[in-house]
Amino acid sequence: MNYWQSFVEYLQQLPWLQQLAALQWLFVAYFVAINLAYLVLNYISAYQIVRYMREYRANYLPAALREYQPPVSIVLPAYNEETSVVSSVRSLLKTSYPDFEIVVVNDGSSDRTREALIEAFGLVLVPEAYRARLHTELVKGVYASARYPRVRMVDKANGGKADAINAGINCVRYPLFCVIDADSILQPESLSRVVRPFLEDRRVMASGGVVRVLNGCTVKDGMLSEVGLPRRLLPSFQLVEYLRAFLFGRMGWSPMNALLIISGAFGVFYKERVIAIGGYRTDTVGEDMDLVIRLHRNLREEQRDYRIVFVPDPVCWTEAPTDLASLRNQRVRWQRGLAESLWSNIRLMFSRHGGAAGWVAFPFMLVFEFLGPVIEVIGYVSMIVLALVGLVPLDVFLVFLAAAVGMGILLSVNAMLLEELSFGLYKRPLQQLRMFVVAVLENFGYRQINSCWRFVGTMRWLFSRRRRHSWGHVSRDGSWQQNAAGAEPASQPHAPEGSHLP
């Protein structure tokens, strides 16, 4: 015991530990600032969602006006997605949108993605003209279907997700294109709702919708037949995390025209504007965020009157990772992509014509999202070490820990309540109770581990910037699919007007 006391007294005399103790209040102030900022976004989002529900939920679009919606090209970049790509295309074929095409881009898959598409939709190689307005890896051929004229496939050499999307943009026919992940499922009305801002405001250049966790749901013949909760704890944590990120994260930035990211799993863009800025960058893992920030920067420099918006109602369902290794790889990539996107577009911050995107959203992302994991990890470790050696009173440490965890619980529960009060997709009381429990539990370990993974992503960006970028591997089990044997996808949309999932 005397040896331990002597060791602690020795540590207390170390200058760097004393300096670290003097900075403890900076860590506390940072945690207070970041949570206050999130609370402000939360209340802005709540107001906007209530307003949206009042204006749009009762009546979406008169049937007589639906034919005036502009045609849309849907681009599905696919790499090793044989377990889910067919269901995704079937889901898209059943959308209630009047005029659309589906362009699946097989990015040199090493599994049976290409063969699965050919077999399911009767695709054959066609001599179609291909305009290479954006540079991509070699395109081997374009396939089309006589049975399903909306469906085409671009077969190309592997070049990464951004390169695959660029190849799809080269091939699309319509002025608006929508990017959807090949493991995603759309509701019948989702495409119509995410395109609506383009009809209402000629200034809109891009629009994004909500992405939700598909794990635990049931998909039959390409249609979401039952909404459920994940059976495993890890996807359940991600479900609450997605609600928090979309319903009050992105919804809070949209009214200020400061939305810096539209999810790569579900977004609509003007094709010519994207081509004008060079398409998706292939030297970053955060191609979706980088594209939106470059749109802001380019349009601000040209002093254009524009809007980039987020719509909370369109829902895209995607499968979340079910194992720690895949989730870790995903979050490391996301953080690295965030760093690359911010660094390469740093000129937007505090620029003369930056507006809310350059003066509010960009500094927020830099301080709280990019530097946040570094400060959080250092803050947690420092407070624990200082408490152990007696340089921080135990009551101060406990207050710090309770505040950090308590604010996290408040934000998660608020996101869950916001979902239930607005869209209410999880109607059963047992589901709501389970979501509440998960919203509390995720703050005890999961969020801290996430911060550590994001810390690793930041360090990898700092020390390996020249690393070649490729598709991130995420293992998927496809357990949500219940396709009937021999089922054929519908060739025409058949969802009834105004239909909604339970």
Helix (H, G, I), strand (E, B), or coil: what is residue 151? strand
Is 216 part of a structural domain of the chain? Answer: yes
Name the H helices within 233-279. 233-243, 251-253, 271-276
CA distance 333 to 284: 10
Residue 62: pLDDT band (50, 70, 90) is: low
Highest mean pLDDT among 34-38, 348-352, 478-482: 348-352
On whether the CB atoms of residues 210 and 316 are closer than 8 A, the answer is: yes
Using a pLDDT cut of 90, give the percent of the chain over it.
44
Kindly state the tokens that stand for 371: 């530097």
Tell me the pLDDT tens digit for each residue of 401-412: 787 788 888 888
Is 342 part of a structural domain of the chain? Answer: yes
Name the H helices within 144-256. 161-171, 190-200, 233-243, 251-253
Task: From 210, 303, 191, select the one nearest 250 (Cα to Cα).
Answer: 210
Helix (H) or strand (E) holding 296: helix 287-301
Does pLDDT of 248 surpass 60? yes
Does pLDDT of 220 surpass 50? yes
Kindly state the tokens that stand for 481: 């699919």
Tell me the pLDDT tens digit for each residue of 460-471: 998 876 555 555
Highest mean pLDDT among 8-22, 57-71, 209-223, 325-339: 325-339
Q: What pLDDT sits at residue 118?
A: 94
Is 367 part of a structural domain of the chain? Answer: yes
Mean pLDDT of 25-45: 83
Length of the chain: 502
Tell me the pLDDT tens digit for each residue of 262-321: 988 899 999 999 999 999 999 888 899 999 999 999 999 999 999 999 998 867 888 889
What does the radius of gyration of the chain's CA atoms come to, in whole angstroms? 24
Q: What pLDDT sits at residue 96?
A: 85
CA distance 367 to 386: 25
On whether the CB atoms of residues 217 and 187 are closer than 8 A, the answer is: no
Does pLDDT of 415 surpass 50? yes
Is 142 part of a structural domain of the chain? Answer: no
Does pLDDT of 387 surpass 70? yes
Is 134 part of a structural domain of the chain? Answer: no
Q: What pLDDT sits at residue 493?
A: 35
Q: What pLDDT sits at residue 314?
A: 67
Is 379 part of a structural domain of the chain? Answer: yes
Exposed, middle or buried by CB within 10 Å (0-12, 13-18, 19+), for 45?
Answer: buried
Mean pLDDT of 200-220: 90
Q: What pLDDT sits at residue 479?
A: 57
Question: Under 8 Å CB-to-CB from 423, ≥6 apart: which residues?
Answer: 312, 313
Using a pLDDT cut of 70, give the percent of the chain over it.
85
CA distance 499 to 502: 10
> Is the alpha carbon torsion for 129, 182, 102, 196 positive or negative?
negative
Is 293 part of a structural domain of the chain? Answer: yes
Mean pLDDT of 231-245: 90
Range in 194-198, 413-417, 457-461, 473-477 with the lowest mean pLDDT: 473-477
Is 116 part of a structural domain of the chain? Answer: no
Tell me the pLDDT tens digit for each residue of 115-174: 999 999 999 999 887 888 999 999 999 999 989 999 999 999 999 999 999 999 999 999
Q: What pLDDT sits at residue 180?
A: 92
Mean pLDDT of 17-37: 75
Q: What pLDDT sits at residue 5?
A: 65
Tell me the pLDDT tens digit for each residue of 424-446: 788 888 888 898 999 999 988 89
Mean pLDDT of 199-217: 91
Mean pLDDT of 486-497: 37
CA distance 440 to 405: 9
CA distance 210 to 59: 19
Helices and strands of the chain, counted as H and E runs: 18, 12
List beta partners, residue 343: none
List beta partners, residue 49: none
Q: To which residue do tokens 């009047």 refer?
A: 98
Number of structural domains the chain divides into: 1
The residue that leads in pLDDT, 500 or 179, is: 179
On whether the CB atoms of residues 199 and 212 are closer than 8 A, the answer is: no
CA-CA-CA-CA dihedral for 335, 337, 339, 343, to nearest 10:
-170
Q: What pLDDT sits at residue 486?
A: 39
First to last CA, the chain: 63
Task: From 342, 338, 362, select the one nearest 350 (Cα to Cα).
Answer: 362
> Is the alpha carbon torsion for 195, 201, 206, 212 positive or negative?
negative
List beta partners, residue 210: 315
Residue 45: pLDDT band (50, 70, 90) is: confident
Tell me the pLDDT tens digit for each residue of 347-379: 999 999 999 999 999 999 999 999 989 988 888
**C-alpha triplet 259, 263, 265: angle, nearest 5°:** 160
In which domain, by residue range, is 299 found?
13-70+175-463
Mean pLDDT of 382-393: 75
CA distance 448 to 211: 23
Q: What pLDDT sits at residue 270?
A: 95
DSSP label at residue 140 = E
**C-alpha triplet 349, 335, 380: angle, nearest 5°:** 100
Q: Phi first, then psi: what are they for 110, rounded to 5°?
A: -95, -5
Helix (H, G, I), strand (E, B), or coil: what is residue 139? strand
Q: What pLDDT sits at residue 234?
A: 92
List beta partners, residue 327: none
Helix (H, G, I), strand (E, B), or coil: what is residue 345? coil
What is the average pLDDT score of the chain? 84
CA distance 226 to 219: 7
The residue that leads in pLDDT, 238 or 385, is: 238
Q: To which residue do tokens 């200034």 refer?
A: 203
Highest mean pLDDT among 24-38, 64-78, 267-281: 267-281
Mean pLDDT of 211-216: 89
CA distance 340 to 486: 45
Q: What pLDDT sits at residue 457?
A: 93
Q: What pLDDT sits at residue 161?
A: 92
Task: From 110, 112, 160, select the one nearest 135 (Cα to Cα).
Answer: 160
Does pLDDT of 392 surpass 80? no
Among left, alpha and beta (phi > 0; psi -120 to 50; other), residue 499 is: beta
Q: What pLDDT sits at residue 156?
A: 95
State the pTM of this model: 0.86
Tell me the pLDDT tens digit for each residue of 77-131: 999 988 888 988 988 998 889 899 999 999 999 989 999 999 999 999 998 878 8
